[in-house]
Amino acid sequence: MKRDRWNIKERIMAGFVIVLVVLSVVVTVLFRQTESTLREEYRRLVQSSVDGAVHRLDRLVQEVYSISDSFAFNEQLQIYLDKVYEQDQVQVKRADVMRMYRDFFEISDILQKRQKISGILTAKGVLFNFADVNCDGQEVADRLTEMGVNDPKHLMRFCWYPLQDNFMVQDASGNARRDKVVIGSRRVYSVWKAAYVCTHIFCIREEDLYAAYQESVVETKGEIYILDEEGNLISSSNQECVERGKVDDALRNVILQRTQDDFIWKTKTENFEICVRPSEVNSWLAAAVVPQKNITGEVGALYRKIYVVLILCLIGCVVILLRMYQGFLAPINELNQAMYEVQMGNLNAYVNESGRNEIADMMRYYNNMLKSIHVHVVEKLESERRKKELELEVLVSQINPHFLYNTLENIVWKSNETGNPDIGRLAAMLGRMYRLSTSGGQIIIPVNHEIEHLMAYTQIQKNRYGDAFELDLRFDHEQLRDLMTLKIILQPIIENSFLHGMEGLERKMKIRMKIRRLNDRLQIKLIDNGTGIPKERLLKVQRRIRGEAVEEEAHIDQHRSTGIGLHNVAARIRLYFGIEDPVRISSIYKAGTVILVQIPILTKEDLDEKGEYDLQNHKKNQ
């Protein structure tokens, strides 16, 4: 069977797929919008967090500046700054360190919460180490000098040096954040001496710097890096970077070569949102580096979960569908296929009965119905076909005896009148007419034979009515030469004119009949100017032509006709050719009648070996 539509299973599957696709598109659009909104909101949050981190770091640096300022012009410290200690005065020096710390620095920070000066390097090269009094050897002072803390180019500016190990203490804790420091230095100028007298040294533990912005790290869900203007590491939330004491070169270059403070850094493996903010009090840069997956990770995870749920739902629906198909749709599909075969003429298309549900009941009902059709309908159709064939034979052979008697009476009258030779011709025409009507038992005859039969009938009527009527028959011999038709078709058509048109007609009745080939039909059209048919009788005639049961004035028809009327013509055409409305008649009383008959174009090629026509085979061949 050629399919022109999807079955139920395919439509349900297609429906599931369409619903899944629509849901996927909707979910994707919603998640994309949510992701975009979340990314924008998160970007603002990161910017705010980095601003907060920079602000807190600036406060810490300003605190260091403030402490340095408070002790830069202390005259009491001047007496210590002018001292020079001999090698055997180590203990004296350390006692002075303890005394300075107690008298000046400890008093200024009773709660011990502020940053403190880690050391003072005098212009004479003496180092007062407040971070570790026991670590004040010349090597520490030399290292500070190598760093350039006393470089004249610095003037009185505060200088910061990158993250490094705290060499101003002897012992290490093992914690990189606690052991590594950022060193700051500031040269102090004395207006009284008009010279630089010392350098303040501050060792700020990375742990303290990290504490200033640790809260922002939690908010950003990324890493924060504090760099100087050359990209050296000051502090970082990344423990590994702190332990190495430097930031990755790729990230360092991206931050230093940026064209804007907020941008996306794309690497081979993933993308990062980067937000950079400069310090307002020194040259430090705070950079937040957040992987984009951290921003929308939860949304992406939820998105994937929803897709997994959708796919699981689809799989579940498919499993349910397959189970339903096995128990419900498959039997229905089998039943549908069997019904199609019945429609195509196979009355043995039974289905397998299985199960005890409603579908099985339907299949049993179908099989029982098919058996009933096979037993009753098929046999009845065969009987009806045979019956109609017999009725047709009867109709064809039913020549009204009254017509024959009238004709013979006319012959006798002629013979009694004179010895006119017309009598012989009339008898010959009658014989010819009846020979043509039998046609050797054939039902389908050439159109030319049917026209000859019509002419014989017309000549007989001419001898009866004389010049009371005139026949104008028009047809093309070449056009109709090879065509076939049912026998006794034309004679009942023209007989209708004599039956309904001659009675009480005071004028000469003119009958015009035209036979022509029109497309795939043979059209026969008759027009007369007889008395016509009254409206009530016309309605009965039309109903009878359509095959409806009508009570007729049988004695009038039988007395005047051959017994083969228009209804017989219509019935035979319907039976043989399947045309629903083959004969049409219209009439105006006192004016005339029009009859239109149409039959299919038939040739000898359309007939079987017996000269018969099979409508079903003809349709299949078409």
CATH number at residue 178: 3.30.450
Better pLDDT: 497 or 303:
497
- Find all residues with CB under 8 Å of 367, minimum gap 6, and list them: 350, 351, 353
**Is residue 24 assigned to a domain?**
no
User: What rounded mean pLDDT belongs to the chain?
Assistant: 81
Q: Beta strands 469-474 and 444-446: pairing type? A: unpaired
Does residue 61 have a pLDDT over 90?
yes
Does residue 567 have a pLDDT over 90?
no
- Find all residues with CB under 8 Å of 575, minimum gap 6, and list them: 388, 392
Beta bridge partners of 264: 273
Q: Which of 176, 203, 230 is the last residue of a domain?
A: 203
Give the tokens for residue 589.
Answer: 């009383």
**Is residue 249 assigned to a domain?**
no
Maximum average pLDDT range among 3-17, 112-126, 308-322 = 112-126
Q: Alpha-carbon distance 186 to 72, whole Å? A: 9
Q: Alpha-carbon distance 598 to 569, whole Å? A: 11
Buried b (16+ CB within 10 A) or exposed e, 122-131: bbeebbbbbb
**Per-residue pLDDT, 559:** 43
Q: Which of 187-191, 256-260, 422-426 comes out lowest in average pLDDT?
A: 422-426
Please name which of 464, 454, 456 lies closest in space to residue 408, comparing C-alpha atoms. 464
Q: Is 280 helix (H, G, I), strand (E, B) or coil?
A: coil
Residue type, 8: I
Q: Which of 144, 170, 203 is the last residue of a domain?
A: 203
Mean pLDDT, residues 464-491 taken together: 89
Q: Alpha-carbon distance 85 to 96, whole Å? A: 11
Q: What is the pTM assigned to this prediction?
A: 0.51
The string of pLDDT tens digits covering residues 274-324 is 999 999 999 999 999 988 887 766 666 777 777 788 788 778 877 777 776
**Is residue 511 assigned to a domain?**
yes
Write down the residue that tokens 């109903």 correspond to. Answer: 543
**Is residue 30 assigned to a domain?**
no
Q: Return the percentage of the chain with pLDDT > 70, whole number.
A: 80
Mean pLDDT, residues 569-588 taken together: 88
Q: Which of 175-189, 358-372, 385-399 comes out lowest in average pLDDT?
A: 385-399
Does residue 63 have a pLDDT over 80?
yes
Does residue 496 contact residue 567 with C-beta atoms inside 8 Å?
Answer: no
Residue 562's pLDDT band, with cuts at 50, 70 and 90, is: low
Give the tokens for residue 572.
Answer: 């035979």
**Per-residue pLDDT, 30:** 80
Write down the residue that tokens 């007889």 correspond to. Answer: 530
Q: Is 30 helix (H, G, I), strand (E, B) or coil?
A: helix
Does residue 168 contact residue 185 with C-beta atoms inside 8 Å?
Answer: no
Maximum average pLDDT range among 101-105, 493-497, 561-565, 571-575 = 493-497
**Is residue 559 assigned to a domain?**
yes
Better pLDDT: 442 or 260:
260
Specify the number of domains making up the chain: 2
Q: Which of 137, 172, 203 is the last residue of a domain?
A: 203
Render 380-420 in DSSP notation, one character per residue.
Answer: HHHHHHHHHHHHHHHHHH---HHHHHHHHHHHHHHHHH---
Residue 366's pLDDT band, with cuts at 50, 70 and 90, is: confident
Residue 621's pLDDT band, with cuts at 50, 70 and 90, is: low
- Find all residues with CB under 8 Å of 337, minimum gap 6, and list them: 1, 349
* Domain region containing 497: 398-621
The string of pLDDT tens digits covering residues 156-170 is 889 999 999 999 998
**Per-residue pLDDT, 596:** 95
CATH number at residue 609: 3.30.565.10
